[in-house]
Amino acid sequence: MIRQIPARLCVGLIVSSLFATTGRSQLVNRYNYDRQAEMFVNAGMQALLTCNGLFVSNRTLEQLHQAELKMDQMPLAPAHEVTIDRERKAVAVGEQGVGPVMRAAYREGLGCVLMGPEQTFRDIDRLPILTTPPLEGDPSRLPWPDGDLISAKPLREHIDKKALDTAADFAFDRIAHGHESQITMSLLVVHKGDIVLERYAPGVDLTTKTRTWSTAKSIAGTLIGIAVGDGKLALDAPLPFRDWGPGRGPVPETDPRRKITLRNVLNMSSGLYPVDNVSVTGSMLSYFGGASSRAGALDRGLVREPGTTWDYENYDSLLGVYALKTVLGDSQKYLEYPRRALLDQIGMRNTVVGIDRFGDYVLSSQIYTNARDLARFGLLYLNEGMWNGKRIVPESWIRFARTPAPSTRDTGRHYGGQFWLVPDDRTDLPQDTYSTAGSRGQYTIIIPSYDLVIVRRGEDWLSSDGFSNWDLASEVLKAFPKSKGAAKLK
């Protein structure tokens, strides 16, 4: 039996140590058997983040070194080992003959795709593309939230502007609160459908797209929920594939993994081996090492009864995404699905969903978007899955996302269906509060009892000092003392 290890939100690179026991003494074997994998991952992370930063976020290399490439656990290759091909929109990191060279290239409609260690820039044309035309309409001329045109209007009388500004200062002036590694890029507060606060850091504006990290999981869950509403998937049916263990063919009916349901994986309760908690050779190889995200998710054995133990695993989310791909069948329909089913429906024009080189969406982390698109996403949930009178997400799926996973019953009921739930001990927040959460401080917080959506985008660089979405929510709520939800807190 594998001892449960507390899960982490951040994507830190772990230098593994092997422990062996000889007699009564415990010896530390200092050989790092993951070293080669770490080299691939380190170079691949720098290549992919640089490529997306330059050609999706449209930031300068100097900005990237001050922001996206600034992480305490990310060793950067020196400048002479970084090649930027602006004509091809591609980046290579590494020195041939010294270590692995990892490459990433921009692909239409999908952002940058990480290439395999064996590939060169000559292989770029073999990578997936998505040529779906952009959503019609000029967002600068379309009223919010379908577009970006904001009509000037006074704050509602029940909103305390001074408290709202204080909450913004709380989010941006982190040095004053003893957290210099917490860097807030943007903050949006939406109340009753109106943007009542919008603030950006220098060099950032409403067009700036950055990586969502694990906030992508909530978007993935939504796409899966739409498919459930359409009858393509069933929450409590076994996952609709049999090819556990990639390349080995279908497993027999007696394989215990055949019992894992969609609910299990979306509740982070698959019972599969928790590879991300013990080695860099887990999903990090899919994110940044050029490995297949689908193959890695499938190649795990069952170590616990499904649905009984909570363990935060990127590969659990990716199993749900593979289930979606399986039932959609056609690879082109799969590529178009995020746009057609969700993004275009609610005006998320600035959102780019990333894919691996094998044609599988890396929807546990790889999305680039801006603060306003995440606010739109939050509004969709605040409105119980409705948009302009049209049902986008089943109301039952909204309830599922907000319902504590059964496996968290004894640990605080902190997680639902690809969303985080407010901790039981937060008496300063209404218990209907829930949130997306991604590494480096990517949050979309939804508080139905206050009719509020709060979006915070961050570039926090110290993994041990994470920005608290719940503390931010508490500060923002001080600006709404006369709301219906405020009475429930008293």
Estimate the crossing angle of helix 469-477 against helix 161-172, to 10 degrees.
160
**Phi-psi category of residue 249: left, alpha or beta, with phi > 0 → left and psi -120 to 50 → alpha:** left
Cα-Cα end-to-end distance for the chain: 45
pLDDT tens, 252-291? 999 999 999 999 999 999 999 999 887 777 899 999 999 9
CB-count burial class (<10 Å; 0-12, 13-18, 19+) for 245: middle
| Section 382-404 average pLDDT | 98
What pLDDT, on a 0 to 100 scale, did the predictor assign at position 11?
39
What pLDDT, on a 0 to 100 scale, did the predictor assign at position 30?
60
What pLDDT, on a 0 to 100 scale, did the predictor assign at position 132?
93
Assign 35 a pLDDT band (cuts: 50, 70, 90): confident
| Section 391-413 average pLDDT | 96
- Does the pLDDT of residue 407 top 90, yes or no? yes
**Does the model's pTM come out above 0.85?**
yes
What pLDDT, on a 0 to 100 scale, did the predictor assign at position 74?
86
| Section 4-20 average pLDDT | 35
Phi, psi of 436 (to 5 degrees): -80, 165
Which residues on adjacent β-strands are paired with residue 352?
368
For the beta sheet containing 90-93, the strands, ordered from the edge strand earlier in sequence to the opposite edge, are 82-85, 90-93, 102-107, 111-114
Q: Which CATH superfamily is domain 139-148+159-212+364-489 in?
A: DD-peptidase/beta-lactamase superfamily (3.40.710.10)
What pLDDT, on a 0 to 100 scale, did the predictor assign at position 18?
30
Per this entry, what is the length of the chain? 490
pLDDT tens, 341-363? 999 999 999 999 999 999 999 99
For the chain, which residues make up each domain, given as ranges? 34-119, 139-148+159-212+364-489
| Section 293-308 average pLDDT | 95
Cα distances (angstroms) measured from residue 114 to each of 118, 121, 371:
12, 11, 25
| Section 422-444 average pLDDT | 97
Where is average pLDDT lowest: 2-6, 189-193, 205-209, 367-371? 2-6
Where is average pLDDT lowest: 72-76, 82-86, 171-175, 356-360? 72-76
Assign 488 a pLDDT band (cuts: 50, 70, 90): low
What pLDDT, on a 0 to 100 scale, did the predictor assign at position 73?
79
Residue linked to tokens 């193959």: 295
Amino acid type, 110: L
- Does the pLDDT of residue 24 top 50, yes or no? no
**Residue 12 or residue 57, greater confidence:** 57
- Does the pLDDT of residue 93 top 80, yes or no? yes
Q: Is the separation of the CB atoms in 353 and 361 below 8 Å?
A: yes
- Does the pLDDT of residue 202 top 80, yes or no? yes
| Closest residue by Cα to residue 441 from 462, 456, 429 | 456
Estimate the crossing angle of helix 331-338 against helix 215-229, to 10 degrees.
120
**Beta pairing class for 25-29 and 82-85:** unpaired
Q: Is the separation of the CB atoms in 355 and 364 below 8 Å?
A: no
What pLDDT, on a 0 to 100 scale, did the predictor assign at position 22?
39
